[in-house]
A and B are shown apart, each in its own frame.
Chain A
Amino acid sequence: MYKQVLSSLERKRPILLDGAMGTELVRRGVRWHKHGLLTDAPAVRELHAEYLTAGADVIRTNTFQLNPRIYLNVFRNSEHMRHIGAPGLHELAERLLRISVQLAREAMIRTRRDGSAVIAGVLSPLEHCFRPDMAPPADVARREHQAQAQVFAEEKVDLLLLDGMNTIREAKAALKAGLAVGLPVWVGFVLGPEGDLLSREPLLDAVVEIEREGADAVFFTAAPPADIAKALRRMKGSCSLPCGGLAQIGRFSPPSWKFEFFPQFIDTDEWPAERYASEAYRWREDGASLLGGGFGTSPQHIAALRAKLDHDDRSPGR
């Protein structure tokens, strides 16, 4: 099935991703610990199913900003974690990754979309997605991403999706890690307010480098719709990879007690589904073939976008 998706992309036919997992789960009242994967597994599975029913061709595991560091970082060190931490924290991230794939797969089966949709295992920056200054060195990033990519490979995801990457260095490290375990890789970059990468590295450099390293597609994310449009326009003509956008809607509202990324976006009603779909649909004119929803979006947004794409009747796998 992945081959079909890729060949559609290469022919510039649109592929629809899902919308946000974390922000939508939090909006629905899921208590955000362990990404809801243990305590609210039915809600996670249900949201995947809603995205599939809405018409997504690709669903993403609920693993954005989930890696061993998010637990380790709140202790003095590994020994301290063992000393005062709950049992099993050292293995928790891996365990959650496996569960995330299971839940996505169960949703595919439940909605009878296995065979017409694919599962993307989500890797994201090892540190906070909005803090490029904290990105680890390349060798460390490569090692840690590869350990996670290996888990996704074992769980047989269809592709690896690097979501919210904020530096070229870490994106390349994670990309190489994904390719090393035999998975195709798509790379999503966070845009900064200046219109380049959040790290202020030039967009074009980022795209050229990950194309050279073997990514199958690139997209821009974690910025308002207008920024995504601008980035796509700038890349038009200079990017031969399939490209796309997943815009955020609303404003990031971090909680008062949490240090890693917490998916809480407010004021999302400025972008109701129809408005978002119209905006994202226009990105196609600037060469985007990968469309979906970023932070703050919901199954309604994806359903509206699906309707617009289906109106063209050029979408594959439907």
Chain B
Amino acid sequence: MSYRAIAERLDRGQVVLLDGGIGTEILRRNVTWADHQLADRPDFVRDIHADYIRAGADVISTNSFQLCQRAFFNHFRDEAHRRHIGARDLESRADELLTASVRLAQEARDRVAPPRPVAVAAAVTTLEWCFRPDLAPTVENARSEYERIFRTVKAAGADLVLLETINSVTEARAALEQANDAGLPCWISFVCDDRGLLFTGESFAHAVSTLEPLGVGAILLNCAPPDDITAGLNQLSPHARIPIGAYAHVGRFDPPEWMFTDEYPPAKYLEVATTWHSIGARILGGCCGTTPEHIAALDPLHMN
């Protein structure tokens, strides 16, 4: 229901606002981000979603970056080792946390009760580390793992899937086909380098020609500095007939946390987002390091 309203906005050429960083916002509010805090600090996560809705986001994304069974299993040699020394709930922990992540976003929407439709996007990332396409699983494994993730978030009531920080067309395609099977609208957002190419070296022309016929709802760019996002949009825009979008990170990755900088305060972020809009981006938001103030600053484009 909420998704249809969002899609109609895009059909009319209007801007759809995403939210900003969640993991980094948790850090900025002085809580550790080794865990997603979905189980330990649900109020805290819900409040961040609510702040983004109040800031004007039409689509809020769940706090589920890189949250999947593989992320837990990778810490063990194999199943025998995991069963021997691992916590007993690791088989089901990802499913439970994903479900909780959707519920918290929905509860935030119910609580704020905004006058406009707001959709909950299940944020799903690459199965291995987002900046490391060399680690990507086989297509067969990717399919079965995405199938499980999408089944879980669909059952939890997510309105769409936002595949974020995707680094290869191959994994994007495997995920998109599973989202289609699950009956979930799917937007795909790629990380790009300063030349505007995917981390595999693949081009956006290739991404579009592969994914558009399969019914992707939108193609976006994220998790790169604003200038790189601009470069990527210039590559993407000439090829895409579907809606396109962008959300850059602001600051510096200081693993496992984030270094906040004042390079892109909200007013300056609006300037660069205005550039993206002029290139054709209609879905705009913020990635790591952006805050509800950054999203609120995009209001002039939103009203456009």
How far is it, in angstroms, between the C-alpha of A5 and the C-alpha of B147 when the chains are bound? 57
Interface residues of A in 35-85 (CB under 8 A from B): 70-71, 73-76, 80, 83-85
Least CB distance from A57 to B in Å reads 27
CB contact under 8 A between A257 and B75, given known A74-B255, A86-B252, A193-B80: no
Q: Is A223 a contact partner of B71 (Cβ separation < 8 A)?
A: no
If over half of B's interface residues share one DSSP class (helix, strand or loop), that class is named, otherwise mixed; here it is loop
How far is it, in angstroms, between the C-alpha of A153 and the C-alpha of B46 when the chains are bound? 49
CB contact under 8 A between A84 and B75, given known A256-B67, A258-B34: no
Least CB distance from B19 to A in Å reads 18
CB contact under 8 A between A254 and B81, given known A84-B252, A262-B34: no
How far is it, in angstroms, between the C-alpha of A76 and the C-alpha of B254 when the chains are bound? 14
How far is it, in angstroms, between the C-alpha of A252 and the C-alpha of B83 when the chains are bound? 10
CB contact under 8 A between A252 and B87, given known A86-B259, A130-B76, A261-B75: yes
Q: Is A252 a contact partner of B85 (Cβ separation < 8 A)?
A: yes
CB-contact partner of B256 in A76, A133, A251, A258, under 8 A: A258
CB contact under 8 A between A254 and B75, given known A83-B194, A84-B225, A259-B129: yes
How far is it, in angstroms, between the C-alpha of A76 and the C-alpha of B75 when the chains are bound? 20
Residue ID in chain A nearest B75 by CB atoms: A254
**What's the tally of chain A residues with a CB closer than 8 Å to chain B?**
43
CB-CB under 8 A from B81, the residues of chain A are 130, 192-193, 198
CB-CB under 8 A from A86, the residues of chain B are 252-254, 259
Q: Does A316 contact B (CB under 8 A)?
A: no
Q: Does B61 contact A (CB under 8 A)?
A: no
Q: Is A266 a contact partner of B87 (Cβ separation < 8 A)?
A: yes
CB-CB under 8 A from A11, the residues of chain B are none
Q: Does A87 contact B (CB under 8 A)?
A: yes
Most B CB atoms within 10 A — which of A89, A258, A261? A258
Interface residues of A in 225-262 (CB under 8 A from B): 248, 251-259, 261-262
How far is it, in angstroms, between the C-alpha of A282 and the C-alpha of B62 when the chains are bound? 51
Residue ID in chain B nearest A74 by CB atoms: B255
Residue ID in chain A nearest B79 by CB atoms: A193
CB-contact partner of A130 in B38, B75, B249, B252, under 8 A: B75
Q: Is B86 a contact partner of A252 (Cβ separation < 8 A)?
A: yes
Q: Does A132 contact B (CB under 8 A)?
A: yes
Interface residues of B in 194-208 (CB under 8 A from A): 194, 199
Least CB distance from B111 to A in Å reads 24
Least CB distance from A40 to B in Å reads 12
Could you show 11 A-B contacts with beta carbons less than 8 Å apart? Answer: A33-B32, A33-B254, A83-B194, A85-B254, A86-B252, A89-B254, A128-B74, A131-B77, A192-B81, A255-B34, A256-B97
- Measured CB to CB, the residues of A under 8 A from B are 31-33, 70-71, 73-76, 80, 83-87, 89, 128, 130-133, 192-194, 198, 222-224, 248, 251-259, 261-262, 264, 266-267
